[in-house]
Amino acid sequence: MKAYIARKLLALPLILIGVSLLVFLAIRALPGDPARLMAGPEATQTAVDDMRTRLGLDRSLPAQYADFAYGAVRGDLGMSIKSKLPVVSEIGERLPYTIALAITSYLLAILVGVPAGMAGAIFRHRWPDQIVMLLAIAGASIANFWLALMAMNTFSVSLGWLPLLGATSWKSYILPSVSLAVLPMAIIARMTRSSMIEVLSQDYIRTARAKGVPAVTIYWSHALRNALLPIITIVGLNFGSLIGGAVVTESVFNWPGIGRLLVDAVRYRDYPVIQGVTLVAVTGVVVMNFLAEMLIAALNPRIRFD
């Protein structure tokens, strides 16, 4: 296990360097002139050229990337064009809200999706299974922003039970979390059902039943433990889609996270903020995938020797 972790840790910096390079090139490919934006629409060409020199945009791409990578390592992602504040401080102020929303949504998706998938497998081809599959298909098909708008209209505008916008209290987490959790919940439920059906057909499960082992012990202790590997893989790999959904959800609910910060930055062509938020989000996805691989390797020793 130590050798496996060491190999993965050695590969992690290379992956992060590749990710940072992709983010850097993608931002440079966006339309618009950052120097013109920072100098202002009324600035002369001389002022724009001076601004370009100050930003280092007149240098070669390798030199710009070296500055960007060195700054990122030191925790310096530049200054926001719009607010004139350090990008790191803006991200640091918004990131806790996004992390809290992501954790709440994922916990909700797992706590509902896993038991629902188990129920679908245990009652396969009967009405509980049909209900679970129907809801899973609907959850995977419904657009995230449409569900958020319908939830706002129903529970905030019509009934007045929950806050409409912002993050003012614990009640503010309910609608954004549910809206964001629906897609991963549907995926986890379907994956749990498929994995449980495969495990429940194994000989050792039939042997346990023949020995009179209680059904609860068979399902939760024997079957679920062996069905967890694909579920953990899906949970880890879907963190990226959760971050993508958070951008839409935070915009709809006016949530003060980095998703809304990114949308505002795109609107104002604030490329240092776009670059910084994208880098932080992609790095988070890479780290989550790494942790998922470590957990899978800990549960399945065969993976460590592949």
How many other CB atoms sit within 10 Å of the CB of residue 203? 7
Stated as kind and residue range, the H or E segment containing 162 is none
Per DSSP, the three-state class of 118 is: helix
Residue 139 makes CB contacts below 8 A (sequence gap 6+) with: 182, 183, 185, 186, 189
Distance CA 134, CA 121 (A): 14
pTM here? 0.75
Coarse DSSP helix, strand, coil percentages of the chain, rounded to the nearest 5 percent:
80, 0, 20
3-state secondary structure 199-253: HHCCHHHHHHHHCCCCHHHHHHHHHHHHHHHHHHHHHHHCHHHHHHHHHHHHHHC
For the chain, residues classed under CATH 1.10.3720.10 are: 89-299
CA angle 184, 189, 195 (to 5 degrees): 120
The per-residue pLDDT string of the chain (306 residues; one tens digit each, 9 = 90 and over) reads 677 777 777 777 788 788 778 877 877 776 667 677 666 667 777 877 777 777 777 777 888 888 878 877 887 777 777 777 888 888 888 888 888 888 888 888 889 988 898 888 888 888 888 888 888 888 888 877 788 888 888 888 888 787 777 777 788 888 888 888 888 888 888 888 888 888 888 888 888 888 878 888 888 877 787 777 777 777 776 766 676 667 778 878 888 888 888 888 877 777 788 888 888 888 887 887 788 777 777 776 666 555
Domain 89-299, classified CATH 3.60.21.10, yes or no: no
